[in-house]
Structure 1
Amino acid sequence: MNTVVNTDTNSNDTSNGETSEGSIPTDVISLVVAPVVALPTTVLSNFIPYGEKLENFIGVEFKKWHQKMLFYLTTLNLKKFLNEDLPAIQEGENNRASLIALDVWKHSDFLCKNYILNGLDNTLYNVYCSKKSAKDLWESLERKYKTEDAGNKEVHSGKVLGLQNGRFKDGH
């Protein structure tokens, strides 16, 4: 704690606590107290620390992996490469800025593609590693596993409802 003590030597009578006009009495000690602000201590169970790897996608629960991967790529500022094609340079355009921008795009697309590939199981990695861009890879995974997830939901829903070959198990 900080304390403020009067060190005014111009005071006429400091023995009884009286002071001259405008000075602080020497027998009064002022305390300066700063407010204490507590930061929230929220624990995020699904938070992925920087550099920590997601669980590898093994071919099941695509929707869950898809959402986690989208979040991960968003935090790395790479999500836009899932929708963008290679920028085209105009014919006859050889300015340095355009070539540098193209190189930066290619590098970022390479990173995005390999973050996705790194999130796949080894068997799936071998199937999808030949894709040319992050966009091609992402669209290929979505085509394969989104439709497969939809089919699994229909089969599961039928089991829950008691359907067998389009009919209820009791024959109706």
Structure 2
Amino acid sequence: MSIKFGKLTKFEGVDFRRWQKKMHFLLITLKVVYVLSTPCPEETKDETLEATRHKSKWENDDYICHGHILNAMFDPLFDTYQNMDSAKELWEALELKYMAEDASSKKFLVSDFNNYKMVDSRPVMEQYNELLCILGQFMQHDLKMDESIVVLCIIDKFPSAWKEFKRKVKHKNEELTLVELLGSHLCIE
């Protein structure tokens, strides 16, 4: 198959959700993702030619799916998971291990956001973009926070030199969105 794909980063054991979504898209594109959720067709005594073809196609697609998942892993992980019998077994083993690790990383994300402090010595826009990166990871982990709370938290994180700006923005009557904070206020300052 000579389909050109964007480069899929090999899975190293971190950022599983991102890798999983990219891998899932690749498997959908290859039309083999169904083997992750569909059991192998059972063999019967009076199997028809159609049933034999169906089973053979499933086995071939499982082999392709299994191979692509393994191929998208760094060698130490490949060595660990290569002996799994099916793509579904491999996929479930990865989810079991790395989704649990993702759950603990949620706690660290929240902590990173809460403890982030902007400093006077670096450009505010650069630091603002770092905060947006952390918030982007929130969405990857299905962590939700009301936008008005996010905006107020970011305003509180501005460096001490922005004291007057913080006071002015906090005393406005209307609530700001992240886009409004960036567009109409940060760029102006």
- Asked whether the two chains share a fold, i.e. TM above 0.5, the reply is yes
Aligned to 2:82: 129
Q: How far apart are the structure 2 equivalents of 1:78 and 1:100? A: 16
How many residues were matched structurally? 113
Contact 1:58/1:120 (CA < 8 Å) preserved in 2? yes
Aligned to 1:161: 114
Q: How far apart are the structure 2 equivalents of 1:53 and 1:94? A: 42
Q: How far apart are the structure 1 equivalents of 2:66 and 2:95? A: 14
- Is the helix fraction higher in 1 or 2? 2
Aligned to 2:125: none
Q: Secondary structure at the match of 1:63?
A: helix
Give the TM-score taking structure 1 as reference length.
0.60
Aligned to 1:74: 28
Residue type of the partner of 1:147?
A: A
* Deviations 1:80-124 (CA, angstroms, capped at 9, x unpaired): 11111111123x223332222211110111000100000011000
Residue type of the partner of 1:115?
A: H
- Is the strand fraction higher in 1 or 2? 1
> Identity of paired residues, percent?
33
Q: Secondary structure at the match of 2:23?
A: helix
CA separation of 1:161 and 1:53: change in aligned 2, threshold 3 A = closer
Larger Rg: 1
CA separation of 1:120 and 1:99: change in aligned 2, threshold 3 A = same
Where does the alignment leave 5 or more consecutive residues of structure 2 unmatched?
116-189
Q: Which of 11, 14, 23 is matched with 1:57 structurally?
A: 11
